Amino acid sequence: MPVTLVVGASGFVGAYLVRELENAGHRVLQANFPEFDLRDKVHVESFVQKASPDFVVNLAAVSSVGESWKNPEKTVDVNVLGTLHLLDAVQKYAPHAKTLLVGSAEEYAPKNSPLAETDPLEASNPYGISKIAQENFAALYRKKYGMKIVCTRSFNHTGVGQSPTFALPSFCRQVAEIDRSGCSGKIFVGNLSAVRDFSDVEDVVHVYRMLLESENDFPVYNVGSGIAYSMKELLMEIVGFAKVPVEIVQDSAKMRPVDVPYLCADNSRIRKFWRETPICETIRRMFEFYRGF
């Protein structure tokens, strides 16, 4: 039974990944903030030494683009320095282990067609910049220490349990609350022109497990559906679930300083692992979750 250390397991994606791994026969050790703080190098090394894992997954991050603009220093501290602490600990105390580092589509330079792993990187926000740095350090540690490290550039993913600080759960919660009230209401939104590749979180964590368990032909893999929708299309789908009128109001406070207009994955490298759940099914479940409150 492989021992897998999941850092940031208590977060949205972590809960799904832990279940995916346990169902596949892994013994999962969870390392969660605040007890496990990636910024504390001594504690990270002690934890990894005791765990002696076969696999390591780092999900701990400042993962919101909006939050990264509010606190770029913390973003770099957690996403870059914290990852370095983890890689150093694995290199010293579990050199046999394979590590999965989760990156982001926000690393890419803008492009109006599906992005391949060979496309140039040019992040336009602190979060994306921090993930490029993480990936660069992964390449350095592979070369210097011969470590087994695989990186993802994960596109948007969502599902029940994601924080409503993110767009789709925010839409679902607002519309569900209006619908539950039985009266018409207003939903407040940010930029609806952005086009995004959204996946169901369960499909994404399945790919993460397969990347851990399989031989990797590449150091970096896009994880996404390869299908993109505008935020307006997805919002209208959600509004359509309601039985009462919903007015859409754009809120300037929800607009990002810089927003990439189009993000869609070329998912050729992970297609053999992909179990596609239509995003409309995912957002229907999210709406029903909030509607059931």
Treating both helix axes as pointing N-terminal to C-terminal, what angle do 231-239 and 167-181 enclose, rounded to 10 degrees? 20
Who contacts 131 (Cβ-Cβ below 8 Å, separation ≥6)? 79, 103, 104, 106, 107, 123, 153
Q: What is the pLDDT of residues 243-254, one digit of tens each?
A: 999 999 988 877
Q: What is the pLDDT of residues 160-175, one digit of tens each?
A: 999 998 999 999 999 9
* Rounded distance between C-alpha atoms, residue 62 and residue 79, angstroms: 7
Mean confidence (pLDDT) of the chain? 95
* Rounded distance between C-alpha atoms, residue 147 and residue 141, angstroms: 6
Query: The domain 3-157+199-223: what is its CATH number?
Result: 3.40.50.720
Section 194-205 average pLDDT: 97
Residue 258 pLDDT more than 70?
no
Treating both helix axes as pointing N-terminal to C-terminal, what angle do 82-93 and 126-145 enclose, rounded to 10 degrees? 20
State the pLDDT at residue 64.
Answer: 85
Confidence of residue 66 (pLDDT cuts 50, 70, 90): confident
User: Residue 172 in contact with residue 205, Cβ under 8 Å?
Assistant: no
As its CATH architecture, domain 163-196+228-262+277-291 has Alpha-Beta Complex (3.90)
Can you give the residue ranges of every domain in the chain?
3-157+199-223, 163-196+228-262+277-291
